[in-house]
Amino acid sequence: MNGHVNGGYDEHGGHDMVDEHADVASDGDERITAFWQAARGHVGFGKLDGIVGSVPLDVVPPPSFSFGEGAEADAAVLEVLAGARTSGGSPRADYGLDSDLPRAGDLAIVLDSRGEPRALIRTTHVTLADDVVAEQFELVYPTDGPTPPVD
């Protein structure tokens, strides 16, 4: 499942995910920022901001991607939100060094076809088989409404 993030928050290209669109939210986009601010507490980030301040992994959102384009992306994100889609895979050749491979615990934001953040997922298991990298993931933060405004 490309486009997913590793522990260092690096992005990877993908065959079944779309990472670059003119209308898709990027890491600096307010939609991603607002979604991350709402979702980060579900992974334990943001709980001590008032006491110890923010740390970089807390502030910087994980990479975002969509599973395909148009209706395909919308159908896939609905499957993720419903719990019907919990895995993805990509050719090993789509990754650079072994350090670029996904790892359990990695986070990613799934976008719909309009580039709206819809789900935060966490990789639970990675399998390398032949020339394929397969990831299992869990839904961490679902939302089916508009992204909350940035404070």
CA dihedral 136, 140, 145, 146 (to 10 degrees): -100
**What average pLDDT does the segment 121-139 reach?**
94
Cα–Cα distance between 52 and 94 in angstroms, integer? 39
Residue 63 is given by DSSP the state P
Count how many domains the chain has.
1
pLDDT at 98: 79
> Closest Cα to residue 135, out of 121, 149, 146, 118?
121
- In a domain, residue 73? The reply is yes
| Domain annotation covers residue 34 | yes
Residue 117 lies in a domain: yes
- How far, in whole angstroms, is CA 109 from its chain's centroid? 3
In a domain, 39, yes or no: yes
Q: What residues have CB less than 8 Å from 141, skipping those under 6 apart?
A: 38, 39, 42, 43, 119, 120
Q: Which tens digits make up the pLDDT trace of 37-85?
A: 888 877 776 554 444 455 555 568 898 989 999 999 999 999 999 999 9
Place of tokens 């298991």: 125
**Residue 82 belongs to domain spanning:** 30-98+106-142
Q: pTM for this structure? A: 0.71
Mean pLDDT of 14-26: 42
Q: Does some domain include residue 50?
A: yes
How far is residue 26's CA from residue 41's CA, in Å, rounded to a whole number? 21
Q: Is residue 148, in this structure, part of any structural domain at all? A: no
Residue 2 included in any domain: no
CATH number at residue 122: 3.10.400.10
Domain membership flag for residue 41: yes
CA angle 81, 86, 92 (to 5 degrees): 130
